[in-house]
Amino acid sequence: MGAVLPQARYKQIVYIDDDEVQGLAAKGILEHLGHSATTFSDSAEAKDAILATPDAWDVVITELWMSGPSGIDIAKVIVGLRSSLRFAVVAGGYLEAPDGDRTSVNSFRVFAKPTTAQEFKALIRYICE
């Protein structure tokens, strides 16, 4: 029988990516790591859900580039909700600010989009420390 890890290690995570396949893959990896994962492919819907129930989540991981609110737009909302809500803006490629405002993207560190369990684990550890 394996050792039971402290519950504090497991997080309620929101993963937002308008690519549904990426979202499903992320959900599978996050759940494999022991987290509870909710995915959204509609960034406006995700933003509304986070605003409606900010205490339901520990971590939000959002793609930088999406139709509707961008990852930066969502990050700006999260910053004002509660200090314990951790988040990461991720991108698979092009990192320029969606609205052309470079100060926005420079205000929020944009991480490379995780694709493996180890990358997700490292990202969550980094943003939660």
Structural domain boundaries enclosing 52: 10-128
Specify if 3 maps to a domain: no
Which residues are CB-neighbours of 105 under 8 A, at least 6 positions away?
64, 72, 95, 96, 97
Report how far residue 7's alpha carbon sits from residue 61's, in angstroms, rounded to the nearest whole number.
Answer: 20
Encode pLDDT of 63-109 as tens digits: 998 888 988 889 888 888 887 889 999 988 655 555 555 544 456 77
Specify if 80 maps to a domain: yes
Specify if 96 maps to a domain: yes
Specify if 1 maps to a domain: no
Specify the pTM: 0.83
Cα–chain center distance at 107 = 16
pLDDT tops 60 at residue 1: no
Specify if 4 maps to a domain: no
According to DSSP, the residues that pair with 60 across neighbouring strands are 14, 87
Specify if 65 maps to a domain: yes
Query: Considering only CA atoms, which of 61, 12, 55 is closest in space to residue 36?
Result: 12
Share of the chain above pLDDT 70, in %: 82
Task: Identify the three-state secondary structure at position 82.
Answer: coil
CATH number, position 86: 3.40.50.2300
Q: Domain tally for the chain?
A: 1
Specify if 5 maps to a domain: no
Half-sphere exposure of 80 (CA within 13 A, CB side): 6
